[in-house]
Chains A and B, each alone.
Chain A
Amino acid sequence: MKPTPVRSSVLNAASARPNRIPIAPPQGYWRLAWRSRHGDQSVLLERRAVTVNVGLLGAFLLASVLYLSLGSVNVAPMAVLHALFGKADVMANFVVQELRLPRLAAAACTGAAFALAGILMQTLARNRLATPGIIGIDNGATAFAVASIVGIGVSIAPPAMALAGATTAAVLTFGLAAGSGTQGYRFIVAGIGVGAVFGAVTQLLLARVAIDTANAAYPWTVGSLNARPSGALQLLILGLVLGLITALMLARSLTLLRFKDATASGLGINVKRRRLEVLLLSVALTGLAVAVAGPVGMVGLIGPEIARSLSSSRGVPITAAALAGALVMVLADLAGRTLLAPIEIPVGIVTAVVGGPWLLWILMRPQRSFT
């Protein structure tokens, strides 16, 4: 192993105090060491995780610039960078700042939230198919959000209703599958059933109202970034930041939750409590994201898959999954806006067309462990 400058500083620190034996970082890790008032501190960073996160971030930034520059009016990439600071011509400024930037923010945040919710749910259920979209939580949130728009007696803001819907669907799915555990395919099919009921309820609600109201609610039923309710995005950003921080705090427990319950609790985790926290976090993220973009659940499957295939199997790749989800969502919406222009394909359809074969492939390849 090549000695790195960081490591040599550790060695120097150790040689100053001979009773400390320097520990080489495990293979594939970087050790960041520094001195503070409380003594020597060090952090182990997995090299591969760092590379993956940086790479995904770079890809995401690249995709964002593309997203801002392509469309019915093309703005050159350099002009985009200028327009971001308000230094391009008026037209480019307007298109980039007023039209595309909010939509880019919505795409990135919903993608990250869906993917984060997906990887949390997969880890929780120890089942890689158990994403919120597949087990019906998206549909529950959609049904409730549509209900708030068409106004069945209650008129609460869509995000609150979507949260309530996501919670209801989660309770139903987990309750109905209670006897069979979450690992088998039974859990998933029970979730598909719950999702079908909520899908039908959405149709029922849409059939009851006048055509204009139904049109206003239509984006929720397929998943689109075109009609974002005001205020929902701000709530989502807040939720996403809090959710990411919480997920990173839970990361260590998540790594252990992948093992059997007995193993995990033997290693010192309060399994039930952690499960509940992870479930709540996942459901909340799904609800907030659905309130912005409707059910684009496939991102919750694709994002974690990408992150997992890039990362090592040591931990749960939380940030990588969120970044991959944001990347996928931005690319999907970009494709939806530009491929068949002037017609716009809702982003939910793009992700379904891409994600469907992926799901089939997961099902058909030889069985491995599910996390």
Chain B
Amino acid sequence: MLLLLTALVAVSLVSLLIGAGSVGPGRAIALLSGAQDSEAHFIVWELRAPRTLIGIVVGMALGVAGALLQAVARNPLAEPGLLGVSAGAAFAVALALVLGASAATLRISVAQLGALMGCVCVLSVARFRGVGNDPIRLVLAGAAFSGLLASLTSLILLYDQRAADEIRFWVIGSLAGRRLDDLLSVLPSMLVASIIVLLIARPLAALALGERVASGLGHHPNLIRWLVVACVALLVGAATAIAGPIAFVGLVVPFVARAFAGPDIRRTLWFCLPIGPLMVLSADIVSRVVVAPSELPLGVLTALCGAPVLIAVVRARRLPML
């Protein structure tokens, strides 16, 4: 854990130091140690610092949401991006923009509503005729669902040029050019979600032993499930509202966290907190450097490192049941 925290601090520092522009690590270090450099000051504190903070928050939200969703679906492949939760959020935002909302005011609550709808849809499919009993079938249903939503979103964007212009850069998933205000506006819902997560961590651990055991221990499985779904919707909706749909983070982070923490969901959740930002920030740094001076969408990089993990999980001889 200490190691992970150290790594997180180091990555955040690197994120401040490295970028696509002309301010290299040398000048940034000089600035941090007290030199006067107005250009570097602007770039580091006005551009890179908010971006780093947003990366940390988004990473935490997506990682924790992934772990929660996997625990409640009892499925190591359940992931907000793969199951269509992010696609639901993106679709809701596009729809709201076409119906006349303006991007600045509405986005977060709408995205959270869309994420909630996506979540409920997929989980009800999962409970339908035992699709959820087969983890891989659930993923397939999710992939079909998010593919459908993604093409509906692009249909809407084709139809309405104004909306397309407003969210073209948002819909591919990126941390570039987000302001600190965006972050402040999602903080309340993030706080609410964190409190709920703290409250339901214990019942969730009991639920992992099976529905009957959980009821026997005095918990209400259905109530817990709905709370988890609400939490996931809040977290993923907020993260999507700031950074756009980013896939595979919610798959990789709990996967790694479980390797550190073992089967206990409470420990896994704590480990997700540093690992999520680690992944998002590293991917973000790479996305700035790799095609400098332009930038790569963050979602591309997370897909590049997430898809192999997906294949690895699928290839495992016995699929780990949660």
Q: Which residues of A contact B (CB under 8 A)?
A: 129, 176-177, 179-180, 184-186, 188-190, 192-194, 196-197, 199-201, 203-204, 207-208, 222, 340, 343, 345, 348-349, 352-353, 356-357, 359-360, 363-366
Contacts and interface: CB of A to CB of B under 8 A. Distances in A.
Contact of A208 (B139, B291, B301, B307): B291
A196 B128 CA distance: 27
Interface stretch (B63-71, B154-162, B263-271): B154-162
A188 B131 CA distance: 15
B125 interface: yes
A306 B115 CA distance: 33
A119 B295 CA distance: 40
Contact of A207 (B136, B144, B155, B294): B294
Given A129-B140, A203-B172, 8 more contacts: A177-B315, A190-B314, A192-B139, A192-B140, A197-B304, A207-B291, A352-B150, A360-B125
Given A194-B311, A364-B141, A349 B291 contact: no
A179 B310 contact: no
Given A200-B304, A356-B148, A192 B154 contact: no
Given A193-B308, A353-B148, A363 B137 contact: yes
Contacts of B317: 179
A129 B140 CA distance: 10
A192 B141 CA distance: 12
Most buried by B among A129, A201, A207, A353: A207
25 contacts: A177-B315, A184-B136, A185-B140, A186-B314, A188-B136, A189-B77, A189-B311, A189-B314, A193-B307, A193-B310, A193-B311, A200-B303, A203-B300, A204-B304, A207-B300, A345-B155, A349-B158, A356-B145, A359-B147, A360-B125, A360-B141, A360-B144, A364-B125, A365-B129, A366-B129
Interface in B80-101: none
B310 A343 contact: no
A190 B315 contact: yes
Given A188-B136, A360-B144, A197 B307 contact: yes
B217 to A, nearest CB: 33
Contact of B152 (A188, A353, A359, A363): A353
B311 A190 contact: yes
Most buried by B among A184, A196, A197, A208: A196
Interface in B271-305: 291, 294-297, 299-301, 303-304
Contacts of A359: 144, 147
Interface residues of B, dominant DSSP: helix
A144 B155 CA distance: 26
A353 B145 CA distance: 10
Contacts of A352: 147-148, 150-151
B294 to A, nearest CB: 7
A193 B141 contact: no
A64 B186 CA distance: 52
Contacts of A196: 247-248, 303, 306-307, 310
Contacts of B11: none
Nearest to B139: A189
Nearest to A201: B304
A66 B308 CA distance: 46
Given A184-B136, A352-B147, A176 B311 contact: yes
B145 to A, nearest CB: 6
B37 interface: no
Contacts of B297: 203, 207
B143 interface: yes
Closest 4 A/B residue pairs (Cβ): A356-B148, A352-B151, A185-B136, A200-B303
